[in-house]
Structure 1
Amino acid sequence: MDIAQLEHVSYSYRNDPAIVDINLNIKRGEVIYLVGENGAGKSTLLLILAALFVPTRGIAKIFGKVITEKVTKDVCLRRKIGIVFQDPDIQLFSPTVYDDVSFAPRHLTGEDYKKYTEKAMRIMKISHLKQRHPYELSEGEKKRVAIATVLSYDPEFMLFDEPTANMDGKGRREFKLLLKKLIDEEKTIVIATHLLRDIVYATRIIGMYEGKIEYDGDPSILKNKKYLEKLNVI
């Protein structure tokens, strides 16, 4: 079974189209990069794939479930999907880093949340920040914490929106190591980015422009300078 199936999916903010007539299948184990300039529709597509937005038109199936308002609140489905937003301030809302990272395993796993929380913090190297208020952190630290909030409940479908934005060189290198770990664990991964230098381990590239998919295929497209200029990413 495919992880996601989108059939003629469109989404508008009021009357402003964000994505238009998207057809897309995602198979287990893929590492997909959504590539395009800011405003190309990448973030909106991620929110559809995360089962957080219901399409304005068309049908979106995630893990075989048609996404409706009711399904967006399905706890079993939420347990399978993790999304890291571009702006970590959206993701962080608790008094301490520890509270943020432990929030999902407390509510979704039904297991020993402390073990999962501490493991996620170790992976992201933020254990020393656990008693800090998230808003006291640097942007790079906030991004690490936001990623840990998703790792803490071990979803099988992981979505990242500009994960290396505001990260220094060390942070970007460590994110690449994290990706390798997730791939070894057979996660299915979708990453939205306009930073071509940070694309690694891709099995598939989806090029987006003005809310539409302009390219869907082999990562070798990244060597085509003329096409990348069309997408406004170089």
Structure 2
Amino acid sequence: MIETVDLRFSYGERPVLRGVDVTASSAAVTVLLGRNGAGKSSLLKQFNGLLEPDGGYVSVGGERLTYDSDALKAVRRRVGFVFQRPGDQLVAPTVEQDVAFGPRNAADDSADEVVTRALSRVGLDGYERRLCSRLSNGERKRVALAGVLAMDPDYVVLDEPTAGLDGDGTRALVELIRGLVDEGITFVVSTHYPGFASAVGDSFVVLDDGRVAYSGRSLDGVDAEKYGLRRFGV
């Protein structure tokens, strides 16, 4: 599992995380909810060392994170991060080149096979030669996820994955995530939308002003309006 203990973080003088305790159970989907500015993205970036806390700590699989370069390389192989905007993540002209970027930099001799399998897992069989710039937003998101899966992570973090998706795209995303959970991958997902959260999640954490306002196995009884959540069907 991924766990944070009394996690604190500030941008300069502005506190963003104020003593956050969160546990993301293995082979399950933990969903973080909250309004813009609640601290969701800052918390997600702690899970693989993209940000370093000012206090408290993060543990992954029972091992407390450290922030030297070798430790960060290791944890980023275990914890893949998919950004909200695919354009922030895709680095190559074609789908095959992009998904192969990580394995080839890791000197993986089976990179071609890894790419084929990763694309198949996200429903993009046969997309290898397509240009990333010609793909739909939903397809680009899947390519970004395939690039993460190509590194064979134990955990995947998705920051606002439904941004720019319509209802059909969101339902397909739910099916995709749940299928990968069945393969043993642990997900942590952030969203504004309780409908999507309920469809995809196993446990739920609501952040408000950098603190955990709610944690539980259901969103029943959570006041969506109070925490700036949006109505959205799946």
Shorter-chain TM-score: which interval?
0.7 to 0.9
SS where residue 61 of structure 1 aligns? strand
Question: Alignment identity in percent?
Answer: 32
Match of 1:217 in 2: 216
Deviation string, structure 1 residues 57-108 (Cα, Å, up to 9, x no partner): 2222223333333157543322211111111111112232211111122234
Cα distance change, pair 133–17 in 1 and its aligned pair in 2 (3 A): farther
Which of 43, 46, 50 aligns to 2:44? It is 46
Letter of the 1:232 partner, please give it: G
Which of 129, 143, 146 aligns to 1:145? It is 143
Tell me the matched-pair count. Answer: 229
Q: Report the Cα distance in structure 1 between the residues aligned to 2:41 and 2:93, rounded to whole angstroms.
A: 27
Q: Which runs of 5+ in 1 are unaligned?
A: none
Letter of the 1:69 partner, please give it: Y
Match of 2:228 in 1: 232
Cα distance change, pair 100–36 in 1 and its aligned pair in 2 (3 A): same
Cα distance change, pair 25–72 in 1 and its aligned pair in 2 (3 A): farther
Match of 1:182 in 2: 180
Match of 2:205 in 1: 206
Q: Which runs of 5+ in 2 are unaligned?
A: none
Q: Report the Cα distance in structure 2 between the residues aligned to 1:23 and 1:127, rounded to whole angstroms.
A: 39
CA contact (8 A) 1:105 1:113 kept: yes
Cα distance change, pair 74–128 in 1 and its aligned pair in 2 (3 A): same
SS where residue 7 of structure 1 aligns? strand
Task: Calculate the aligned-residue CA RMSD, in Å.
Answer: 2.1
Cα distance change, pair 182–106 in 1 and its aligned pair in 2 (3 A): same
Match of 2:89 in 1: 91
SS where residue 146 of structure 2 aligns? helix
Q: Report the Cα distance in structure 2 between the residues aligned to 1:48 and 1:16, rounded to whole angstroms.
A: 17
SS where residue 229 of structure 1 aligns? coil
